[in-house]
Homo-oligomer: A and B are copies of this chain.
Amino acid sequence: MTGTLTVIGLGPGDPRYWTPAATAALAAASDLVGYGPYLDRVPHRAGLTRHPSDNRVELDRARHALDLAGTGRRVAVVSGGDPGVFAMAAAVFEALEEARPGWQGVGVSVEPGITAMLAAAARLGAPLGADFCALSLSDNLKPWDVVMSRLRAVLAADLVVALYNPVSRARPWQLGAALALAAEIKSEETLVAFARAVGRPDEGVTVMTLPEAVDRAPSADMATLVLVGATTTRLVTGADGASHLYTPRRVGRQP
């Protein structure tokens, strides 16, 4: 029997965000491959074998998943968020280019999920209500000057910017440098959100001005998504007193 490999996104931590399509793919799987804490989110059941790995070996993990599928297993590679956004799907296709003989006939598919910026945006209000971008601050796989030049371009173009992978143990200063660059380009009134672990019990969401964000960069961690607002991004107080961050759809003069 020919095996299959499905790359699944579980969204933020809460199963309330798993799509029925992802749940069905998990139910059909014989083997789960992924970073240990993501696998721990999936309930145990008979006939389901787990292959946890640590977080820094994406390509090895992808090859291992293809090897398993090559023996006829139905493999689910489990990511948080959306597997196509700074997660496992690209690593699987990178591995697939090696076209190893043992993988003959294996079909690969991807199930989308709620990526961190969508979960954070919904919790905050609608900060992605106009044009926006998603940049990874990790310089593990791209030079830091590329990160900075891309950031400069999108800030100057006044897109809302979602910063993924802002901090890790090995990359402690990059978020501070990115926010300092933003402070050179944008006004002091620019709003920034740190959205940590949205959808999990330890969730925390904070909105501040850009100078405050520069000061508070050291408080962000690996579970934080950082949103830098556009010029128009603003706070509105709701009729129940709650505060919402949003970006109006309209830009500039009336067209």
Per a CB cutoff under 8 Å, which of B21, B24, B106, B156 touches A153?
Answer: B156
10 closest A-B pairs by beta carbon, nearest first, are: A90-B129, A133-B133, A142-B251, A89-B126, A153-B157, A93-B246, A16-B21, A112-B122, A110-B122, A112-B118
Q: Do B240 and A2 touch across chains, with their CB atoms under 8 A apart?
A: yes
Q: Do B11 and A19 touch across chains, with their CB atoms under 8 A apart?
A: yes
Q: Do B255 and A108 touch across chains, with their CB atoms under 8 A apart?
A: no
Q: Do B154 and A133 touch across chains, with their CB atoms under 8 A apart?
A: yes
Per a CB cutoff under 8 Å, which of B7, B118, B122, B253 touches A143?
Answer: B253
Q: Do A85 and B134 touch across chains, with their CB atoms under 8 A apart?
A: no
Least CB distance, A54 to chain B, in whole angstroms: 17
Interface status of A252 (Cβ within 8 A of chain B): yes
User: Which one, A34-42, A96-104, A172-180, is touching chain B?
Assistant: A96-104
Q: Do B17 and A20 touch across chains, with their CB atoms under 8 A apart?
A: yes
Question: Measured between alpha carbons, how far is A106 from B241 in the docked complex, in Å?
Answer: 9
- B-chain residues with CB within 8 Å of residue A20 when the two chains form the complex: 15-18, 20
Q: Can you report 28 residue pairs joining A to B where beta carbons are below 8 Å apart?
A: A2-B240, A11-B19, A15-B20, A17-B21, A19-B114, A82-B122, A84-B122, A84-B127, A90-B246, A90-B247, A93-B125, A93-B126, A94-B246, A107-B238, A108-B239, A110-B121, A113-B114, A131-B133, A133-B134, A139-B255, A140-B255, A141-B250, A142-B255, A143-B251, A143-B255, A150-B157, A150-B159, A153-B154
Question: Measured between alpha carbons, how far is A86 from B83 in the docked complex, in Å?
Answer: 22
Interface status of A186 (Cβ within 8 A of chain B): no
* Chain B, Cβ-Cβ closest to A90: B129
Interface centre among A149, A154, A157, by most chain B C-beta atoms within 10 angstroms, is A157
Given contacts A11-B19, A16-B19, A142-B255, 16 further A-B contacts (CB under 8 A): A16-B21, A18-B20, A20-B20, A82-B118, A84-B128, A94-B246, A99-B239, A107-B238, A112-B118, A131-B136, A132-B133, A139-B255, A140-B255, A141-B255, A143-B251, A143-B252
Given A115-B118, A157-B150, A159-B133: A106 and B247 within 8 A (CB)? no
